[in-house]
Amino acid sequence: MKPVYLKIVDDLVNKIKTGTYSEGDMLPPENLLLETYGVSRMTMRKALALLVEQDLLYRVKGRGTFVKKQKSAIHDAFFLSGFYQEVKAQGKTPTTEVITFEVLEPDALVASKLEIDEHDKVYHIERLRLIDGEPEMLERTYLPLSLFSDLSVDAMQGSKYEYIEAKGMKIAQSKQTVMPEIADKKINKQLGVEDGSPLLKVISVGEFDDGTIFEYSVNYFKLNQYSFEFIAKRPD
For position 94, which CATH number holds? 3.40.1410.10
Q: Give the alpha-carbon dihedral of 212, 155, 165, 93, to 10 degrees.
A: 120
For the cut 50, the answer to whether the pLDDT of residue 60 exceeds it is yes
How confident is residue 22, by pLDDT bands cut at 50, 70 and 90?
A: confident
How confident is residue 88, by pLDDT bands cut at 50, 70 and 90?
A: low
CB–CB of 164/214 below 8 Å? yes
The CATH number covering residue 36 comes to: 1.10.10.10
Same domain, 96 and 213: yes
Same domain, 10 and 77: no
Write out the H or E segment, with its range, that includes residue 34: helix 30-37
Mean pLDDT (whole number) for 143-161: 92
Q: For the chain, what is the domain count?
A: 2
Same domain, 146 and 217: yes
Among 39, 67, 95, residue at a domain's last position: 67
The mean predicted confidence, pLDDT, of the chain is 84
How confident is residue 224, by pLDDT bands cut at 50, 70 and 90?
A: low
What is the percent of the chain where pLDDT is above 90? Answer: 41
b (16+ CB within 10 A) / e for 16-37: beeeebeeeeebeeeeebbeeb
More confident residue, 86 or 217: 217
Same domain, 94 and 152: yes
Same domain, 80 and 173: yes
Determine, yes or no, domain membership for 234.
no
Determine, yes or no, domain membership for 106.
yes
Mean pLDDT (whole number) for 204-218: 93
For the cut 70, the answer to whether the pLDDT of residue 21 exceeds it is yes
| β pairing state of 73-76 and 64-67 | unpaired
Q: Hey, which bits of the chain come out as E strands?
A: 57-60, 64-67, 73-76, 94-104, 122-131, 134-144, 171-182, 198-208, 213-222, 226-229
Determine, yes or no, domain membership for 224.
yes
Same domain, 145 and 218: yes
Choose among 94, 196, 180: nearest CA to 135. Answer: 94
Same domain, 178 and 125: yes
Mean pLDDT (whole number) for 212-216: 95
How confident is residue 146, by pLDDT bands cut at 50, 70 and 90?
A: very high
The conformation of residue 5, written as its DSSP 8-state character, comes to: H
Same domain, 24 and 80: no
Range of the domain at 26: 4-67
Determine, yes or no, domain membership for 235.
no
For the cut 80, the answer to whether the pLDDT of residue 164 exceeds it is yes
Mean pLDDT (whole number) for 45-54: 87
The conformation of residue 21, written as its DSSP 8-state character, comes to: S
Among 33, 67, 101, residue at a domain's last position: 67
Determine, yes or no, domain membership for 236.
no
Task: Please give the angle made by the CA atoms of 164, 166 and 169, to the nearest 5 degrees.
Answer: 55
Q: Which residues pair with 97 in a beta bridge?
A: 128
Among 46-60, 87-101, 110-124, the minimum mean pLDDT is found in 87-101
**CA–CA distance, 138 with 93 (Å, rounded to integer):** 16
Same domain, 35 and 141: no
**Per-residue model confidence as pLDDT tens digits over 108-138:** 999 999 999 989 999 999 999 888 888 888 9
